[in-house]
């Protein structure tokens, strides 16, 4: 018997078994990898489908209304096994909508701030009060314009005449005796009570150097006081409401983003920057050289007339001081229908508003509005005299408003995304 041959055969067998095990492992690894790749591919396809469903749903909401404060199924497909739900609620003058789409174990959610969108944007809508619009000085009006039956004409103030080659640089139509209505105006009148009484909201204390980010998927956090609130050396972002029964003052050191301020009076000091909504009932003042970015909204809902103090006549109004830039909405809303010779919104020289200005009383326009104005009338206080329905050196440049701008929700507007909220 040759023992060497036997030893050689045993080694070959061991080697063969080793090779077989390696091949088996490689086969199993390949099968496992193929399986995992298949699962990942299906997972990726499912994720793409739910992302597409969410984006489709925001387009759907542009032309279909859903109720506030309750979950609505807006897209369900038995064939694709996708279900998409939406939750919509008011957030100041805007709406917040969260859309969630689910297929299998894949879920995708997006939250957005929605505003009113107009394909054909309005430059000026002047309510029909049977008075013409009078243009004086270096005034310019561009865009689709709605005027009283009496139309528009050139005027002169203290020897200064209208300098334009034509009166309106755009189409002219006749206006009605009422302004287009802001759809959520009634909600704005009761917003303080509704927010403060909501049981799910959380009340917190404000301290200096507070840094707080609150997601819109969480309960609203509320800072409320029966005294004045000074916002300085704080950074507040997201689903936060600051409420005072007297006054809120915003300092340049405050960093505010997407929050809501509610008080009878709101004072924004010089050089403040950020974006927020300010909702007042008596007065809003914005200092010089502020930069309030989109989508900022300053809204005054007048509940009662101001009273005289120290023989000085007080009026409820919004004042934007010189060299300030604001992107978003300025609105003054009152039930008072009395004609007066006081401006309820004052836009000082070198102010630039990119967006919309709405006032169902009077505006004094000395700055530039890159967008739209809706108003009952204009006031020009010049050289010691008051001129009704005159614009002196004011500009309305509708063509400078970005086409994708979303703002006031009016009767004929669609709701589209003003801003994505990624927290």
Give the pLDDT score at 394: 97
Rg (CA), the chain: 30
- Please give the share of the chain, as a percent, with pLDDT higher than 70: 90
Give the pLDDT score at 77: 57
Give the pLDDT score at 4: 47
Give the model confidence (pLDDT) of 3-23 as tens digits: 445 554 566 777 777 777 778
d(CA 279, CA 263): 7
Q: Does the pLDDT value for residue 78 go beyond 70?
A: no
Give the pLDDT score at 80: 66
Give the pLDDT score at 37: 61
Peptide bond before residue 295 is cis, with ω within 30 degrees of 0:
yes
Give the model confidence (pLDDT) of 150-209 as tens digits: 999 999 999 999 999 999 999 999 999 999 999 989 999 999 998 888 888 999 999 888
Q: Does the pLDDT value for residue 312 go beyond 80?
A: no
3-class DSSP assignment, residue 283: strand
Q: Which of 401, 397, 381, 343 is nearest to 136 (CA)?
A: 381
Pairing of strands 352-365, 345-347: parallel
Ranges of each domain in the chain: 3-117, 122-402
- Please give the share of the chain, as a percent, with pLDDT higher than 90: 68
Counts for the chain of helices (H) and strands (E), in that order: 3, 33
Q: Does the pLDDT value for residue 311 go beyond 70?
A: no
Burial of 296 (0-12, 13-18, 19+ CB in 10 A): buried
Alpha helices in 76-213 (DSSP H): 185-189, 191-197
Give the pLDDT score at 65: 86
d(CA 259, CA 204): 14
Q: Does the pLDDT value for residue 24 go beyond 50?
A: yes
206: how many CB neighbours lie within 10 A of its CB? 16
Select the more confidently predicted residue: 395 or 308.
Answer: 395
Q: Give me the mean pLDDT over the 247-267 stretch.
A: 98
Highest mean pLDDT among 69-73, 207-211, 300-304, 326-330: 326-330
**Contact present, 135 and 151 (Cβ < 8 Å):** no
Select the more confidently predicted residue: 61 or 258.
Answer: 258
Give the pLDDT score at 73: 82
Q: For tokens 């209304």, what's the residue?
A: 65
Confidence band, pLDDT 50/70/90 cuts, at residue 227: very high
**Contact present, 156 and 109 (Cβ < 8 Å):** no
Confidence band, pLDDT 50/70/90 cuts, at residue 47: low
Q: Give me the mean pLDDT over the 332-352 stretch.
A: 93
Q: Give me the mean pLDDT over the 261-266 stretch.
A: 98
> pTM surpassing 0.85?
yes
Q: Give me the mean pLDDT over the 300-321 stretch.
A: 81
Select the more confidently predicted residue: 103 or 121.
Answer: 121
Query: What value does the mean pLDDT of the chain take?
Result: 89
Burial of 177 (0-12, 13-18, 19+ CB in 10 A): exposed
Give the pLDDT score at 309: 58
Q: Give me the mean pLDDT over the 63-74 stretch.
A: 84
Q: Does the pLDDT value for residue 400 go beyond 90?
A: yes
50-64, 75-89, 197-211, 375-389: which has the minimum mean pLDDT?
75-89
**Contact present, 136 and 159 (Cβ < 8 Å):** no
d(CA 335, CA 343): 16
Q: For tokens 């300030």, what's the residue?
A: 324
Burial of 29 (0-12, 13-18, 19+ CB in 10 A): exposed
Q: Which of 141, 29, 150 is nearest to 400 (CA)?
A: 141
Q: Give me the mean pLDDT over the 105-112 stretch.
A: 88
Q: Which of 108, 163, 97 is nearest to 416 (CA)?
A: 97
**Contact present, 279 and 310 (Cβ < 8 Å):** no
Helix (H) or strand (E) holding 49: helix 3-61
Which residues in 235-251 are b (16+ Cβ under 10 Å) and which e?
Answer: ebbbbbbbbbeebbbbb
């Amino acid at each position: 018997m040759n023992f060497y041959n036997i030893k050689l055969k045993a080694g070959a067998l061991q080697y063969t078994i080793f090779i077989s095990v390696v091949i088996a492992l490689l086969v199993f690894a390949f099968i496992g990898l193929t399986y995992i790749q298949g699962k990942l591919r299906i997972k990726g396809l499912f994720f793409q489908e739910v992302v597409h469903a969410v984006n489709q749903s925001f387009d759907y909401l542009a032309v279909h209304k859903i109720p506030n404060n309750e979950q609505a199924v807006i897209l369900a497909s038995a064939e694709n096994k996708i279900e998409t739900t939406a939750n919509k609620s008011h957030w100041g003058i805007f709406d917040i909508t969260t859309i969630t789409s689910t297929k299998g174990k894949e879920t995708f959610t997006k939250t957005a701030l929605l505003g009113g969108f107009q394909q054909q944007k309005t430059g000026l809508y002047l309510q029909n009060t049977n008075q013409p619009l009078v243009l004086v000085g270096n005034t310019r009006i561009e865009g689709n314009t709605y005027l009283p039956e009496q139309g528009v004409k050139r005027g002169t103030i203290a020897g200064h005449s209208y300098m334009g080659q034509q009166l309106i640089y755009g189409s002219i139509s006749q206006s009605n005796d009422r302004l287009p209505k802001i759809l959520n105006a009634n909600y704005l009148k009761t917003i303080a009570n509704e927010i403060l009484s909501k049981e799910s909201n959380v009340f917190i204390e404000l301290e200096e150097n507070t840094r707080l980010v609150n997601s819109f998927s969480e309960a609203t956090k509320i800072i409320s006081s029966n005294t004045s609130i000074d916002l300085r050396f704080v950074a507040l972002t997201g689903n936060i409401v600051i409420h005072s029964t007297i006054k809120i003052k915003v300092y340049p050191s405050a960093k505010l983003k997407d929050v809501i301020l509610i008080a009878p009076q709101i004072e924004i000091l010089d050089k403040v920057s950020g974006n927020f909504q300010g909702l007042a009932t008596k007065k809003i003042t914005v200092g010089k050289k502020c930069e309030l970015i989109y989508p900022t909204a300053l809204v005054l809902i007048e509940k009662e007339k101001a009273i005289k103090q120290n023989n000085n006549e007080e009026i409820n109004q919004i004042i934007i001081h010189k060299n300030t830039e604001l992107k978003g909405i300025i609105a003054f809303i009152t039930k008072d229908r009395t004609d007066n010779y006081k401006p309820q919104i004052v836009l000082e020289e070198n102010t630039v508003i990119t967006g919309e200005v709405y006032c169902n009383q009077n505006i004094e326009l000395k700055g530039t509005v890159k967008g739209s104005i809706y108003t009952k009338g204009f006031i020009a206080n010049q050289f010691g005299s008051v001129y009704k329905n005159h614009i002196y050196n004011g500009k309305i440049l509708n063509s400078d408003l970005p086409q994708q701008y979303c703002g006031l929700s009016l009767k004929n507007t669609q709701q589209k995304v003003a801003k994505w909220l990624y927290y």
